[in-house]
Amino acid sequence: MNRLFFNDVVTRDGFQIEPNFIETADKVALINALSRCGFAKIEATSFTSAKAIPMLRDAEIVMGEIDRVPGVEYTVLVPNLRGAERALAAHVDELNLVMSTSETHNLANLRRSCGDSFLGLSEVIRYVDQATAINVSLSTCFGCPMEGDVPLETVRLWARQFADLGVRGITICDTTGMANPEQVRVMVGVLQRDLPDTQLTLHFHNTRGMGLANVLAAAQGGITRFDGSLGGLGGCPYAPGASGNICSEDAINMLDSMGYDTGIDIPRLLTVARGLPALVGHAVPGQLLRAGLTTDLHAAPVQA
Amino acid sequence: MNRLFFNDVVTRDGFQIEPNFIETADKVALINALSRCGFAKIEATSFTSAKAIPMLRDAEIVMGEIDRVPGVEYTVLVPNLRGAERALAAHVDELNLVMSTSETHNLANLRRSCGDSFLGLSEVIRYVDQATAINVSLSTCFGCPMEGDVPLETVRLWARQFADLGVRGITICDTTGMANPEQVRVMVGVLQRDLPDTQLTLHFHNTRGMGLANVLAAAQGGITRFDGSLGGLGGCPYAPGASGNICSEDAINMLDSMGYDTGIDIPRLLTVARGLPALVGHAVPGQLLRAGLTTDLHAAPVQA
């Protein structure tokens, strides 16, 4: 089966909403551990304002101190030109830009219209000018928790506009877990035909329990790149208590057990995941952490 | 898309491992509420020994007091001839017999070999002699937590032997959540070809997070009958803390959102599910309960 490529976003997307600061050394150690599990990409941090996201105020130090393991791309979230300058100075492998395909969500999240976001991100893309790779993450592609449906044509329009600006990749995000596998099948079919030369990544949440079913539908449709978050860390502000990002090790274990080549050393990844609850101070949603591998056999009970 | 048929097993499979007795009146009320959600079948209780499973010691009273809503089949788990006598006296719509396809699991769970289980269940089937429908649930079809792999040929063999005895349906169970979607695809293809005249039901667990992905794979393969448990209640003794049965409302919501006709009134089902944590005294794994429907829109935050 296809070779798949995984991007772990725990230290950016996962940590971002954690209430207690995670020490810089712990972030560096976690990224270094993940780097040795076989991820194609790691979203290490975000070059945003320290005031907006205090958790990621140490972005420069993190990027300066981590090991840059060959074969792993280190990407960072960048909201604007100032963030792009900082990211380039830190020699990142990729800038990940973000905007929403829903006007209401973009206004709520980024405080500007989609059109203004596009202009701002276009400026970043021109500024970077091939100095490093650029990915654009499009939020709420499968639905907006405030607007409801987001038309497929709207997603196609924004994806094509960014592809026309020469970005290497586009991530189609189910930001609040509204996608279903049939919608995924249709969307990945259309977008792959629209953008045959663009790296497409799918970013799913498990908010309503169907995160891995959506991964399956995307993989069946030919998608080879996925975001995931160690332990399933990272929530959804519109559904308190619900799961957020799909859990990297759960998704990777599913695809590996199906025969896909994920490139990931799953026992090693599980070892890294086991340290996560202590690091963040609470249980995490990942199931494989609790259940163990299917190959972990149990002793038969002693008969009375 | 296909019409699908759901069997909710919460009051048998879900309640069975709950530590605190659930009052008979509460069981009756829950079954009555589920009966009005559109389930094709409800596994109401088990006619087993009160000593073995004290939680289900009220099987006769439950079966006597519930409303028998037209269109809903009320099935009960039956371990042996004595159970079958009691079930027939209670005028159930179906007897659900169970054995494992793994010798070690069958020994551990039922304290006899698979061959002895088959002989015992054959006797039950002869005794019932078309008086009511019979379903056989085959455990550990996708792997045994003690033996590991269970060969597909073994599952085929037992399924065919029961089909040859004239049972109406066979449930293929992933008892401890070891299945993956590729294995599901292969197995449902083979079994549907082997047994075109037998109702096949798939029973999945979410132990490793891929329960709904397995449901998707089975539905894609043409399976129309699924077990689920309200709220995802029911655990796995070999993976403490892991999820057990797939959550009925999560699975049904996925398939409904894909366009399948599930026959279920999902808002009504969610209302029933919302009462479950109080009934059992703890949180349950279901995600839809926390996240709400995708059509539940949220107000945009007020801008400062």
pLDDT score for B217: 98
pLDDT digits (tens, 9 = 90+) for B168-178: 999 999 999 99
Residue with tokens 């179906």: B94
- Distance (Å, rounded) from C-alpha B292 to C-alpha A218? 24
Rounded-to-integer distance, Cα B162 and Cα B99, Å: 11
List the catalytic residues of A.
Answer: 236
Is 0.85 exceeded by the ipTM? yes
Residue at token pair 């040929």:
B153
> Of B111, B178, B208, which to mutate for an interface test with A (greatest number of A Cβ within 10 Å)?
B208
- Position A300 scores a pLDDT of 78
Query: In Å, what is the CA distance from A228 to each residue of A10, A173, A215, A264, A280?
Result: 8, 11, 10, 13, 17
CA B98, B103, B104, B108 torsion-angle sign: positive
How many Å apart are CA B193 and CA A210, to the nearest integer?
A: 29
Q: Give how far Cα A236 sits from Cα of A14, A104, A191, A271, Å.
A: 10, 16, 26, 26
User: Encoding tokens for residue A216?
Assistant: 């399956």
Give the number of beta-carbon pairs within 8 Å between A and B.
Answer: 143
Q: Which of A261, A295, A279, A292 lies closest to A38, judged by CA? A: A261
Q: Do β-strands A94-100 and A73-77 pair in parallel, antiparallel, or remain unpaired?
A: parallel
Pairwise CA distance, residues A177 & A237, whole Å: 11
- Interface probe, candidates B176, B178, B184, B294, chain A, greatest A C-beta count within 10 A: B294
Residue of B nearest to A236 (CA): B291
How many helices, marked H, and strands, marked E, lie in chain B?
12, 8
Distance CA A188, CA A198 (A): 12
- Residue B239 or B215, more confident: B215
Average pLDDT of A254-266? 98
Q: What are phi and psi of B36, to 5 degrees?
A: -100, 15
pLDDT at B240 over 70: no
The domains found in chain A, sorted by start residue, are 5-291 (3.20.20.70)
**For the whole model, what pTM was predicted?**
0.97
In which band, very low, low, confident or very high, does the pLDDT at A301 lie, cut at 50, 70 and 90?
confident
C-alpha–C-alpha distance, residues A255 and B149, integer Å: 18
Burial class (CB within 10 angstroms; exposed 0-12, middle 13-18, buried 19+) of A121: buried
Give the residue-averaged pLDDT of A287-295: 92
Amino acid at B164: D
Which residues in chain A have Cβ-Cβ distances shorter than 8 Å to B226? Answer: none
- At A6-26, the pLDDT tens digits run 999 999 999 998 999 999 999
Distance from CA of A102 to the nearest CA of B (A): 12
